[in-house]
Amino acid sequence: MSRTLEHLERLVGFASLTDTPNGEIVDYAAMVLDAAGARVYRIEGGAGKSGLLAAIGPEGPGGVMLSGHVDVVPVAGQEWSSDPFTLRRAGDRVFGRGTTDMKGFLAAMLSAAERAGGLARPLKLSFSWDEEIGCRGIPVMLDRIDETVGRPDACIVGEPTGMQIALGHKGKTSLRAVAQGQAGHSAEAPDYVNALHLGAEMIGALRAEQARLARLGARDAGFAIPYSTVHAGVMQGGRALNIVPDRAEIAFEIRNLAEETRDGIIARLQAAAFEIAGQAGPGAELEIEEIGAYPGLATAPGSPAVALARDIAPGAGLIKVSFGTEAGHFAARGIETVVCGPGDMAQGHKPDEFIALDQLAQCDAMLERLRKKLAGY
């Protein structure tokens, strides 16, 4: 595991924050993969962003892909015990931003690539960008997969599952409701359309849709919350107490089960917005616009990808996870995919993020079994 820790130390040292240029960390991964004899393809994303697709072994389609993202969430406003971008070991844990989500798996990918000589079937690797803000990079990369490394038979996305095999997660759609009213003096407030009032009624519509989903929507007992959800996260509007606000915005999200498409939920919310604006009278507008989305994952327990994962991670259980991943994008392209990686997402996105060393050891062991399988042992 020492080589994996060496890679992890380097990877954590790159402050590869989401929505910032990531050239340094991608350069490092490309250097390691090139030295390992991989065929490396850099996929440009614009604004200083790029990702990597790489393959070791026979050319063409087939084999197994390992996938992870290089971006990490910010540390601003968090109180860390040490520099979040310097790997620190304490007992049986190592601390640093991204150790769990998900540079631990990336480090294991790199050390596995360095051991992967003489394969009968190809090992493929994907390093994407900006997963944390809506999986922006992976769709661009998947558009290039056939012309670069070739479509794999199966994919393992290494988000932290405690080395259990995750078959499913909900899809997510981020949206914004924009309310337009009329500015005016607050002394004459009843003569104007208050955009915050429209926004408040839209919040009520979101709550009503959530109640409907909890009562009548599809259910999946594999999730802690077994139905689709609607969540309002941010509401903004108004400039001064004595001015009737003419604009308000609500940022909200839908997390839908695979058995329940987002389209029906969005249609009901759009109908509610139209009704709210209509009842407010002339000068009122309430529009809903999509910001971003990623698909859910619903891999069948009998899938070849599940059989592969069980073979290389013996004893692992089958679970579903509450957080989203890039796995849904692979599955949507017809690539059988599971999520299985080291660490616990409960440690991610918070101060003093860490990963247990035994989790990294289990991941290294899983990828070594995969290497042997691809070599025909």
Kindly list the catalytic residues.
71, 131
**What stretches of 18-163 adopt beta strand conformation (E)?**
39-46, 49-56, 64-69, 88-90, 93-95, 123-128, 154-157
Q: 6: how many CB neighbours lie within 10 A of its CB?
A: 14
336 sits in which H/E element: strand 336-339
* Residue 276: C-alpha distances to residues 178, 197, 230, 247 (Å): 12, 10, 18, 15
Q: DSSP letter at 72?
A: B
Burial tier of 313 (Cβ tally within 10 Å: 0-12, 13-18, 19+): buried
- Which amino acid belongs to residue 274? F
Half-sphere exposure of 372 (CA within 13 A, CB side): 8
Residue 16, SS3?
coil
Question: How far apart, in whole angstroms, are the C-alpha atoms of residue 312 and residue 156?
Answer: 11
Nearest Cα to 235, choosing from 194, 181, 199, 277?
A: 199
Amino acid letter for position 207: R
Closest CA to 336 of 203, 209, 167: 167
Cite the beta strand spans of 96-246 per DSSP E.
Answer: 123-128, 154-157, 165-169, 171-180, 184-185, 229-237, 243-244
**Tokens of residue 179, six digits:** 């309310």
The Cα–Cα gap between 300 and 321 comes to: 15
Rounded Cα distance between 84 and 317, Å, is 32
SS3 state of residue 110: helix
CA-to-CA distance for 277 and 272, rounded, in angstroms?
9
Phi, psi at residue 93, to the nearest 5°? -130, 155
Distance of CA 326 to the CA centre of its chain: 5
